Chain A
Amino acid sequence: MEMIADAISWCLIVPGCFFLVTGALGLLRMPDVYTRMHAASVIETLGATLLVLGLIVQAGLTLVALKLVFVLALLFFFGPVASHALAQAALHADVKPVLAEDRRSRNLDSGPTGLAGSKEEPSP
């Protein structure tokens, strides 16, 4: 029984660590603020979720497991909210994304406030 719990938690914690390393690598290597945030949000959703799930399996059916469930819910719901706030702050500060092709001139009215006045010519 203990071995099964250990095996399950190994299968959860090791992919969690893999996603943590991947997210950190993406944070270092991506060219732009927005793509870096996209890579870093992997850390707080997938990485932390898998890690905490592995810890819940390790903790068994105790009060610690219930507290870990609450920590998991907090990270899972409010990590992306924090990333969203960061991205919106970057947009508000007029940080321009690095684009391969600019399609912004097609939908002018519903664009975000920061970039509405700075469109470029669409590539032919």
Chain B
Amino acid sequence: MILAAAERAQTAEQAAGAAATVPKDPAMAAVTANAETFVMMILLTLLAAITLAIIRQRNMFGVVILASIYSFLMASVMLALDAVDVAMTEASVGAGISTVVLLTTLYLTGSVEYPRPRSVAIPLFVSLVVGAALVWGTIGLPDFGIADAPIHKHVAPTYIEYSKKHEMPPNMVTAVLADFRGFDTLGETTVVFTAGIGVLLLLQGGWRTSGNSRRDDEDNELDIDGGEA
């Protein structure tokens, strides 16, 4: 009986969630769809503008800040597409940690880019040809986001029905990540581990004896007043 009550609550919540995003009145539904398209167009235009600014910027510091803005806009695009988990990951990793790590890299290397040694004609030609081929390839894809595209009919309905039938956690993204596709998440965690070990070996290999670094007693250069408590 508890399970039946939980199932009713879950379906009611899903119906409420669906009703909140698409209003029942057809006129309001059209206005909502138009507003979503408008927001999406503005965000994609800003993305294109930021990309052009990244290409034209010569100072590396400015490029890092613009890349952080790009990640934030990308998170907003994903939010507009209703992919909230991916948006949160993109915002925290792209606009947070990635910017900090790139800034510490600039602190080590300096932020002036060397001038271009040779002309830009051949790379521009190659990228234009490849880009045109990709755009021509996307003409054959099905429309964006419709319910009966082949990708939505293979495995996803099985996951959704299995989740509903067996009362799994309501967030299906976590259920797919950690339960149905647990192997892939194990592989991802191993990739993060390997990347971390690789970076540590590159930056510290051979310096560290055991435990903390030898240079513990100097002031560091990261804060203004020398790190006194």
Q: A and B touching (C-beta < 8 Å)?
A: yes
Shortest Cβ distance from A88 into B: residue: B224
Q: Per-residue 0/1 for B191-229: is the Cβ within 8 Å of any A Cβ (1 yes, 0 no)?
A: 000000000000000000000000000000000100000
Chain A residue total in the interface (Cβ 8 A): 3
| A113 at interface by CB-CB < 8 Å | yes
B171 to chain A, nearest CB (A): 17
Residues of A within 8 A of B224 (CB): 88, 92, 113
Name A58-97 residues within 8 Å CB distance of B. Answer: 88, 92
Distance between Cα atoms of A92 and B224 in the complex (Å): 8
Q: Per-residue 0/1 for A86-115: is the Cβ within 8 Å of any B Cβ (1 yes, 0 no)?
A: 001000100000000000000000000100
Residues of B within 8 A of A88 (CB): 224
Distance between Cα atoms of A82 and B142 in the complex (Å): 45
B156 to chain A, nearest CB (A): 29
Shortest Cβ distance from B223 into A: residue: A92
B157 to chain A, nearest CB (A): 31
B53 to chain A, nearest CB (A): 14
Distance between Cα atoms of A88 and B223 in the complex (Å): 11
A28 to chain B, nearest CB (A): 14
A57 to chain B, nearest CB (A): 18
A116 to chain B, nearest CB (A): 14
Residues of B within 8 A of A92 (CB): 224
Shortest Cβ distance from B224 into A: residue: A92
Residues of B within 8 A of A113 (CB): 224
Distance between Cα atoms of A113 and B226 in the complex (Å): 14
B64 to chain A, nearest CB (A): 14
B73 to chain A, nearest CB (A): 16
B107 to chain A, nearest CB (A): 13
B84 to chain A, nearest CB (A): 14
Shortest Cβ distance from A92 into B: residue: B224
A110 to chain B, nearest CB (A): 16
Residues on A close to B: CB < 8 A? Answer: 88, 92, 113
List, sorted by A's number, 3 A–B pairs whose CB atoms are closer than 8 Å. Answer: A88-B224, A92-B224, A113-B224
Top 3 closest pairs, chain A to chain B, by CB = A92-B224, A88-B224, A113-B224
